[in-house]
Amino acid sequence: MTTNRARVEKNKSARRAGVVVDDLVRLRIPGEVQISPDGRHAVYVEKRTSLEKNRDFHALVVVELETGRSRALTTGDQSDRAPAWTPDSAAIVFVSDRGSASNLWRTRLDGGEPEQLTQLDGRVSAPCVSPDGKRVAFIYAPKSAQQRLLQAGPEHPAPRYRHLTRLSYKLDGHGYLDAAFTHLWVLDLRTRKVRRLTSGAYHHSQPAWSPNGRQLAFVSNRVPRSDLHVENSDIHVVAANGGAPRALTHQRGPKFAPSWAPDGKRIAYIGHQRYPDTVENLHVWIAPLRGGGARDLLADTDLMGSNLCISDIKDVPEGSAPTPLWSADGRRVRFLASVEGSVNVYEVAAQGGQPVALSRGHHEISELSQSADGRRWALLRIDPTSPGDLWFARFGSRARSRAPRDLAVAGAQVKRMTRLHSAFRRGTQVLKPRDFHLRCRDGHAIHGWVLHAHGQARKAPTVLMVHGGPHAMYGWSFFHEFQMLAAAGYHVVYTNIRGSAGYGNDFMRAIVGKWGHEDYKDVSAVADWIESRPWADPERLAIAGGSYGGFMTNWAIGHTRRFRCAITMRSVVDMVSFYGSSDMGWVFHQEFGTHPWEAHERYWRVSPLAFVDRIRTPLLILHADEDHRCPVSQGEELFVALKVLNRDVEMVRFLGESHGLSRSGRPHNRLERLRRILDWLERKL
């Protein structure tokens, strides 16, 4: 019986078409999950794509957690994001770009048209409703005079220029900052008056109300020469009625996602204190409100306490981490952790100690939200065959979970609440990857995955993918691009080489200050492994990657001719020019221990451009012209050098796009990027 059923399923899969380029715009992508305080409903943001409008739109969807019934709270051609429940669970405050600017809006759970709460002209984000439901804290950056002038258009009778006075004058995805700082504001819901609580030439983010509503915590980098120390941030508190902010943390290092303990006397957050070194596991810390120094709850563990799993279906928020959540009694803290390609929920005692995994499975739990009593959770689960669905976990019930093989949470009944991709998967063959562990001569192991061409382990060309970061990880998540390549007839191999997160601090730090060395050895070892597989054609092996993955692609083809062709995307080629042209290039002096004018050779010898004369591999360069992380000049330097050398190279420059093109670019550009990848592989591989 089992054999017959398996045969039927196999025949069904064989009749279905594989993932194609245009499927990217068919997907309904969920995110920003928030459970209501009473635990009865969850709201999430659903992204849909319009080719006609050439943009993505976002709507709020609410799910009744006991029944699974869902309905759209907002509709229309706009983006409604950042939902925040009122404490009575009756309404949701959110950010919308309806009209000419982003503002705060409110919609009631029982229906009716959304109500506009603010009339601001700038960038609004991160609303947070006070415990008494009377105020909303939010982050706001008004438009500067320079921004207003530039938006007036080139016909406006005035000089058009940018006057730069600080080091951090641009940010990828946002463009030129033009002295527009983000500050903490509070809206009085009765009077509709807004008040700014912070000031100064600093950015502020991630507000959180104290349990009694008298104070707000937030994240900011309010240190001297903060532009130079962009990897630093601190947890601050300020009185909700105004006053001077007070820093709770003082040891340098990144700190994100403040979360108040139920007693209001402690704040948990995610961060590390290895500064100026930027490469370190993120841990859960607790800072007492009355001072005394922060304490690392995971001090004796080798765990990455954040979600660093890479995918091409979700945006990557800048300078943030999933918020840790307290148990109702304040004795435990829950958080997300990245371990060997999976992201699961962990818990640690508030006094510190060994963390315990509360969820298990080969997946990425990308979002976790809990009810006021902590006994009901809403989770967003992504796996290699699904871009994500909402799940509900209820504690205290003896009922068995309906799908423990997909997601099991210790001590909880678990239910899947949405099936957003059922129609897509019924008509499309979505492939399951197979993971492997490759033992290397240096004694470490490389973890990776294979998506076989058409789902068959038969001889076919292979594409080796290298992820960006470099301190991130591939994992048990969904990649439309990989599925598309496999459906087009290519084996796709993607691995976590040294430098990746999720495999211990030593593994991640193995490439600090020496890109292109231990990591390249691992790329070579994976390529050797591929060539030894019976399903691989050693004569048809390609390499591709974006950002740091693009760096490694450039480096590899400058050191070997084993690859038939290569694709480098939003890459780095010259660490010297990158230092001064990237929105954070100078940060790498902390990794290399010096500045390029002090040790030019140290930067140059880890620059792929230094080996450009050795490149014989046909290369496609994909770059975005508004990429401020890896500026388009990096791609141009490589293109020009290879053209002068009369090598086989082509470059596609996407207009109006940032470093995140593959995840959040305009739909037509994202589709064209995928078509260019397929075209290049068809011609060269």
Q: Is residue 39 part of a domain?
A: no
Burial of 151 (0-12, 13-18, 19+ CB in 10 A): exposed
pLDDT tens per residue across span 114-137: 999 999 999 999 999 999 999 999
CA distance 208 to 323: 10
Task: Please check the confidence at residue 99 and state whether its pLDDT lies above 90.
Answer: no
* Maximum separation of any 2 CA atoms in the chain, in Å: 79
Cis peptide leading into residue 461 (ω within 30°): no
Average pLDDT, the chain: 93
Helix or strand (DSSP H, E) at 667: helix 667-684
CA distance 211 to 246: 18
Query: What pLDDT was estimated at residue 576?
Result: 96
Residue type, 214: R
CA distance 35 to 44: 9
Task: Please check the confidence at residue 677 and state whether its pLDDT lies above 60.
Answer: yes
pLDDT band for position 229 (50/70/90)?
Answer: confident
CA distance 469 to 569: 13
Q: Is residue 310 part of a domain?
A: no
pLDDT tens per residue across span 522-550: 999 999 999 999 999 999 999 999 999 99
pLDDT tens per residue across span 9-40: 454 445 578 999 999 999 999 999 999 999 99
Task: Please check the confidence at residue 159 and state whether its pLDDT lies above 90.
Answer: no
As beta bridge partners, residue 368 has 379
pLDDT tens per residue across span 254-272: 999 999 999 999 999 999 9
Range with lowest mean pLDDT among 66-70, 142-146, 456-460, 637-641: 142-146
Q: What is the mean pLDDT of residues 493-498?
A: 98
Range of the domain at 570: 431-684
Query: What pLDDT was estimated at residue 400?
Result: 55
Q: What is the mean pLDDT of residues 448-472?
A: 96
Domain tally, the chain:
2
Residue 192 corresponds to which tokens in the numbers above?
Answer: 């509709």
Contact 613, 645 (CB under 8 A): yes
In the three-class reduction of DSSP (H, G, I as helix; E, B as strand; rest coil), residue 443 is classed as coil
Query: What pLDDT was estimated at residue 158?
Result: 81
The pairing of strands 491-496 and 445-451 is antiparallel
Cis peptide leading into residue 276 (ω within 30°): yes
Contact 334, 412 (CB under 8 A): no
Task: Please check the confidence at residue 483 and state whether its pLDDT lies above 90.
Answer: yes
CA distance 258 to 235: 7
Q: Is residue 586 part of a domain?
A: yes
From residue 312, give the alpha-carbon distance in Å to each of 172, 332, 337, 624, 662: 17, 33, 20, 16, 6
As beta bridge partners, residue 58 has 47, 79
pLDDT band for position 160 (50/70/90)?
Answer: confident
CA distance 573 to 566: 14
Q: Is residue 615 part of a domain?
A: yes
Q: What is the mean pLDDT of residues 320-348?
A: 96
CA distance 336 to 306: 5
Query: What pLDDT was estimated at residue 389?
Result: 96
Q: What is the mean pLDDT of residues 622-648?
A: 97
In the three-class reduction of DSSP (H, G, I as helix; E, B as strand; rest coil), residue 5 is classed as helix
Contact 117, 134 (CB under 8 A): no
Q: Is residue 637 part of a domain?
A: yes
Pairwise pLDDT comparison (449 vs 153), residue with the higher score: 449
Residues 6+ apart with CB under 8 A from 174: none
Task: Please check the confidence at residue 398 and state whether its pLDDT lies above 70.
Answer: no
Q: What is the mean pLDDT of residues 205-218?
A: 98
Compute, in degrees rounded to 10, the torsion defined by CA atoms 8, 14, 19, 20: -150
Query: What pLDDT was estimated at residue 520?
Result: 98
CA distance 233 to 253: 6
Q: Is residue 181 part of a domain?
A: yes
Q: What is the CATH number of the domain that holds 454?
A: 3.40.50.1820
Q: Is residue 576 part of a domain?
A: yes
Range with lowest mean pLDDT among 154-158, 291-295, 383-387: 154-158
Q: Is residue 70 part of a domain?
A: no
Pairwise pLDDT comparison (316 vs 563), residue with the higher score: 563
Q: What is the CATH number of the domain that holds 165?
A: 2.40.128
pLDDT band for position 318 (50/70/90)?
Answer: low
Last residue of a domain, one of 185, 214, 247: 247
Task: Please check the confidence at residue 382 and state whether its pLDDT lies above 50.
Answer: yes
**Of 30, 51, 95, residue with least CA distance to 314:** 30
Last residue of a domain, one of 247, 266, 300: 247
Last residue of a domain, one of 179, 214, 247: 247
